[in-house]
Structure 1
Amino acid sequence: MHRLLPMVIVAALALLPWRTAMAQALVAAASDLQFALSELAEAFERDSGEPLRLVFGSSGNLTRQIANGAPFELFLSADEAYVERLVEGDHTRDDGALYAQGRLVLLLPAGSPLFEDGAVDDLRLEDLGEAVAAGHLTRLAIANPEHAPYGRAAREALEASGVWEALQPTLVLGENVSQAAQFALTGAAQGGLVAYSLVLAPTMEGRGDYALIDETLHSPLRQRMVLTRKAGAVAEAFYDYLQTEEARDLLDRYGFALPDAVE
């Protein structure tokens, strides 16, 4: 898969040189936002002249880091439950705002053996169990369900389809959904259940194909953002910008359902 953008940081946050980055507003974001939020940050920086530093990771891990004192000023979670946890711990200014609802897709790389029986649009999750039994599927990537909302959604969808147990020996767990997508496209896995927003990135064109997963098979991926107690004026301005029509239009292009459609 395309290498992460220069502003993307997925390494352990404990190793990050915070002191040298404090001139920039520090934003923590779920990895399904890797491409969409990077575009939004570039537009904000161009218009405002104010720099941002984006850190992408799984929502669960970022939540733990914020609770432990990491100096993030704005947090965009892929699951509003993590924001609610920070609200309860008094780490935020308020309860934030719902900014989007995500979608889960089955991503298959070009040349996948699962294409043999037809287009990816014709595949059902139930077919994955049959593919395992036939020996066609030996590695399927998902984000770690323990701390990644898209991994949780993938597990729920596979359970609802009755194939979770059959797929256990095949699962390759990414630390976050972006890593799961990398696994699905670089040979570490033969496909994956990942975020719709990632497969819509321009750099993904021609890399594979995907099918949307029925939203009724898993809990809604309601994505909420919130300013932390450490937020400064630049983070506040970016938070406001993310609720403008310009920002909403870009999120819509990346496949996110907008708040008006999901509240």
Structure 2
Amino acid sequence: MRIFTMILTLFLITGCMNDTAEDKTIYVAAASDLYHALTEMGEEFAAETSINIEFTFGSTGLLTQQIKEGAPFDLFAAAHEMYIEELLNSDSVLADSKEYYAIGRIVLMGSDEEGSLKEKLLSSNIRTITIANPEHAPYGKAAKEALQSLGIWEEVEHKIVYAENIRQAYQYVESGNADVGIVALALVTGTQYPYEVIDEEYHQPILQALGIPSQTEKEEMSKQFVQFIVGPRGQAILKEYGFDIP
């Protein structure tokens, strides 16, 4: 009987601890370009507040659709403001929760050849170019716009390998499954890979915004993390990873 009582007590204590941990956790959907920056922010924020962050990184378009369908996220950091606007129009994020937090930049990753950006991309040494799918990934859309602005989209289209999101495009180059990629500056900053920043005049600005999904039950904790992201420390971390500040 005593052993049973001890086991029951331990079970109840463990259950309470798990409930407490769950109560102090927010679930954040985020664009893949934010993988390094937000992971670092999440660790610092948790250390300061004891609020844990669980991230789901993916393409902005697909995450937007999941949130429309009621996915249980407490915060959404999109790679482009248009997706937050889309969610506002469908009442899927709180009306007053939109915040701009960064401007993204794209780079050509993986080529150390001499010559202009156009010459590198047209080189016979580059057989495959990976970009995120422009249908649902803002960085992929910017990559396609850049190639069109350079006047070489038709010439290189047969080389294009589409990735599900920008981090997967980075991984295709990293693993050797693509010769080069047009990826987020934030993903190559601090790595050993050669890259060339693509002039922002070649594509529409990647103005990034976030919002708090309407179904969250943790609005206040989400707002705390938002203030960290748009505050001095969060903005400093974003700058370290190559983001411009809006």
8 Å contact 2:105–2:206 — kept in the other structure? yes
Alpha-carbon displacement from aligned partner over 1:171-198 (angstroms, at most 9, x marks no partner): 1111000000111121100010000000
When the two structures are aligned, how many residues end up with a matched partner? 223
Q: 1:166 to 1:53 in 2, by over 3 A?
A: same
Partner of 1:31: 32
TM-score (norm 1): 0.81
Per the TM alignment, residue 22 of structure 1 is displaced from its structure 2 partner at its CA by: 5.4
| Alpha carbons 2:112, 2:195 under 8 Å: kept | no
Q: Which of 206, 218, 233 is the aligned partner of 1:246? A: 233
Per the alignment, residue 186 of structure 1 pairs with 175
Separation in 1, partners of 2:32, 2:119? 27
Moved >4 Å (runs of 4+): none
User: What's 1:258 paired with?
Assistant: 245
- CA RMSD for the aligned pairs? 1.6
Aligned to 1:234: 221
> Following TM superposition, by how much is the alpha carbon of 1:98 offset from its aligned partner in structure 2, in angstroms?
0.6
State the match for 1:223 in structure 2: 208
* Residues 1:172 and 2:157 aligned together: no
Contact between 2:120 and 2:126, CA under 8 Å: does it hold in 1?
no
Shift in alpha-carbon separation, 1:216–1:192, aligned structure 2, 3 A: same
Gapped regions of structure 1 (runs ≥ 5): 1-20, 109-113
Alpha-carbon distance in structure 2 between the residues aligned to 1:42 and 1:115: 34
Q: Is the 8 A contact 2:173 2:179 kept in 1?
A: yes
- State the distance in 1 between where 2:69 and 2:118 align: 38
Q: Is the 8 A contact 1:142 1:173 kept in 2?
A: yes
Deviation at 1:47, TM superposition (A): 0.6
Unpaired runs of 5+ residues, structure 2, are 1-20
The one-letter code sitting in structure 2 at the alignment partner of 1:149 is P
| TM-score, reference length from structure 2 | 0.87
Q: Which amino acid aligns with 1:52?
A: I
1:163/1:249 Cα in 2 relative to 1: closer, same or farther (>3 Å)?
A: same
CA deviation after TM superposition for structure 1 residue 126, in Å: 4.8
For 2:62 and 2:105, locate their aligned partners in 1 and report how far apart those are by CA, in whole Å.
Answer: 21
Number of the residue aligned with 2:61: 60
Q: Computing the radius of gyration over CA atoms, which structure comes out larger, 1 or 2?
A: 2
1:90–1:187 Cα change, 3 Å: same
The match for 1:153 is 142
Give % identity. 39
